[in-house]
Amino acid sequence: MIRTIEVLLVIIIIAGAFIGTSYLSVLPAPRQVSPINLNRLSLTTLQMLDSDYDLSRAAFETDNSTVLGQLQVALSASLPPNVIYNLTVYDVNDKEGQLYTLYTPVANISNAESIGTTSDVSMYTVASSNVTFNVTPEKIGEKSNGGTLYILNCSDANGWWITGYTAQSLAQDLYNLLSPYFINTIMVQNTTQLRELIDNHTISSSPTEKVQNAVVINTFGECVPMPQEYYQGQSRASQGYDSNAPSGYGYVKYCYTLGNCVFMYNWTWASIVGYPFYYVSNTGVFSNDQNGWGIYGMKMTATGGSRAFLEGLNNQAYVYNSAQITDSANRVVTFTQAAIDSCNYYGIYPSIYQTSTRALSNSTMSSYNLRVGFNVFNPSGDYLAGAVYNHFAIGSTNITGSLLALGLTRTPDVRVTALSLLSYYQPRLYPSEYTAQGTSRLVVLQLGLAGGS
C-alpha cells in the first residue's frame, strides 16, 4: 500500500511541475509569432514621404495645419488599413541650458488614441531647406611644418598638352578645388617668383607661407616654366644648360635643378598630364623657339628632361640620359578603389575610366629610390598611369621629395590632379551645423497593429 501512496505522491509532484511549467511558459500572442517588421515599414514610409523633400518641408511648417493635414492623408493612404500610426516631430535643441531637453516635440499626428501593445518606431532626421551645411576640411601640412600649395601660373611661359586650356585657367580651377585644404595657396605668377622659390625664398607676405614641404603643381602640362637666369649665357646657365647634351636638348640641366629642389625642400611636385619635363618654357628667352607644333616660347628637352629631374630628386650627380621612362602604349585605366572612395569623400567625380599614353615604368622609377606612395590608377603590368612616388634616400625612412606623375593623354582633367593629391594626403572633413538649433528636426514614426492585444 505504501508503494501506491508513494507513486501517487510522485504523480502529484509531476502534475504540479507540469501545471507550474504551463503557467510560467506563456506562449506569445499569435501576432507576435510572425510579426510584420514595423521598424522597417516605418523607416521606408518616412523615406518615401521625404522622396521629394515634402516631409522635410512639413516638419518645418508644423504650425501650418494644411501641411500637416496633407501629411496625414499621405501617411494614411500609404499604410495598410490595419496599421495605426503616431508621427511626432521633434525640434533639436543645442543651446546651453537646454541640455536636458534635447528634443522638444512640436507636432504630433495619429490615427488612433492608443498605439496598441505591439509597436515599433523609426527615426528620421530632416534638414531645413534654408540651411547650408558647412564642411570644414583639415589643412594639409598643419601637423608637418608645411601646408603651402604653389600653383604655377607664370604669365611668361606657355604650356603643352593642355590644348584647349591655358595654364592660367587650369591654375584657377586647381585653386578653387584645393585651396580649402591647404594653409596657404599661392599662385606663382611669373618665372621670377619661381626662381625665388628655387632659392628657398617665400614670395608672399603671408607669415604662414613655407617653402619647405610645399606642394608644387605644374599646370603647364609637359612643359615647365624656366626663369630666364637659367638661359644659356645668363647668370645661372651652369644650373640650367648642359652644353654637352645633344644639340637642342641642353636645358635638361634645368630639370635636374628642379629635381634637386624637390629633394632639398621635400616638395611634392605634381605633373598633371603627359610626359613630365618634356619642354622648358620662357616666352622671353625662347621667343624664337617653338616646340615643333607651332607653340613658341619653349624648348624641347625630350626624354632627357625627366631623367635629369629624377637624378636631381635622387640627389645623384647629373649625367645626361635620354632613356625613356614611359612607353607610348594606349591604355584605358581605372581608378583604384582607394581613389574611388576619395571621389565620394571629397565630392570630386572625374570619370573612373581614363586614357593613358604616358604611363611611367615603375621599375625605372624604383631605380631612383622612388616608392609608390599612392596609386591613383590600377597598375597595368609594370606601368603606372598615375601615382605619387616618394623618394627615400638609401637607408633612410624619411621622405625626401615626392612626384605626382599623371601619364594621361591630353587634354588634362585637373580634377584627377586634385583627387590624387587629396587621396594621398587624406585631409579629413569636419561637417558642421548638423545639430545647430533650428536646422534639424527629428521625425519619429511609431507604427502598431490595430485590433486585439
Partner 1 sequence: MNATIDHMVSLIVFIGAILLFIGLFSQTIQTAVVYESHKALSTKTSDLLDTILLNPGIPGDWGKTDVRPAGLGLQDPEFTQYQMSSFSLMRLDSSTGNLVEYDKTGSYYSNLSLGFGASLLMPKAQELNYSTALSLLGINNTYGFQLTLTPDITVSITETNPGSPLGLSVSASGTGSPFSGATINYCLIQVTLPQNESEYPSYTIQSGSNTTDQQGIANLTFPSVTDANQTYAFIAYAHLDGVVGVGYHTRVSATDQCVVPIVQSMGSQEVALAHNYDLNNSGPEGSSLKYNATFVISTEDYTLSELSLGNSSSQGVVGTVTSGVGNPSPTIPLPECTTGILIVTYQESSTQGGVVLMPWGVSSLAFPVTFGGNPVGQVWVATDIRQVTIGGIAYQAKLALWSTSGYQVNG
Residues that bind partner 1 (CB under 8 A): 1-4, 6-8, 10-11, 14-15, 18, 21-22, 25, 27-28, 33-37, 40-41, 44-45, 47-55, 58, 69-71, 73-74, 76-81, 83
> How near is the Cβ of 2 to partner 1 at its closest, in Å?
7
> How near is the Cβ of 46 to partner 1 at its closest, in Å?
9
> How near is the Cβ of 17 to partner 1 at its closest, in Å?
8
Cα separations in angstroms, 450 against 28, 29, 115, 123 = 17, 14, 8, 21
> How near is the Cβ of 3 to partner 1 at its closest, in Å?
4
Reference 280, options 263, 265, 270, 295; nearest CA is 295
- How far apart (Å, rounded) are the C-alpha atoms in residues 176 and 141? 18
Q: What is the DSSP string of 318-357?
A: -------SB----EEEEB-HHHHHHHHHHT----SEEEES
Cβ closer to partner 1: 61 or 433?
61
Contact call for residues 276 and 368 (beta carbons, < 8 A): no
Cβ closer to partner 1: 40 or 95?
40
- How far apart (Å, rounded) are the C-alpha atoms in residues 39 and 123? 9
Cβ closer to partner 1: 78 or 328?
78
Cβ closer to partner 1: 405 or 449?
449
Cβ closer to partner 1: 85 or 230?
85
Provide CB contacts within 8 A for 294, sequence distance 6+: none
> How near is the Cβ of 208 to partner 1 at its closest, in Å?
41
By the 10 Å C-beta count (0-12 exposed, 13-18 middle, 19+ buried), 143 is classed as: exposed
> How near is the Cβ of 352 to partner 1 at its closest, in Å?
14
Cell 523615406 locates to 47
Backbone angles phi, psi at 324, to 5 degrees: -70, 145
Cell 638661359 locates to 231
Cα end-to-end distance, the chain, whole Å: 51
Report helix, strand or coil for 77.
helix
Cβ closer to partner 1: 25 or 453?
25
> How near is the Cβ of 407 to partner 1 at its closest, in Å?
30
Cα separations in angstroms, 194 against 199, 203, 242, 243, 261 = 9, 9, 21, 23, 11
> How near is the Cβ of 59 to partner 1 at its closest, in Å?
11
> How near is the Cβ of 78 to partner 1 at its closest, in Å?
5
Cβ closer to partner 1: 34 or 132?
34
Cβ closer to partner 1: 20 or 292?
20
Strand partners, 430: 136
Distance of CA 283 to the CA centre of its chain: 36
Cβ closer to partner 1: 15 or 323?
15
- How far apart (Å, rounded) are the C-alpha atoms in residues 42 and 64? 24
Cβ closer to partner 1: 24 or 394?
24
Cβ closer to partner 1: 10 or 323?
10
Dihedral over Cα of 314, 213, 137, 408: its sign = negative
- How far apart (Å, rounded) are the C-alpha atoms in residues 34 and 272? 60
By the 10 Å C-beta count (0-12 exposed, 13-18 middle, 19+ buried), 424 is classed as: buried
Contact call for residues 443 and 92 (beta carbons, < 8 A): no
> How near is the Cβ of 31 to partner 1 at its closest, in Å?
11
> How near is the Cβ of 51 to partner 1 at its closest, in Å?
4
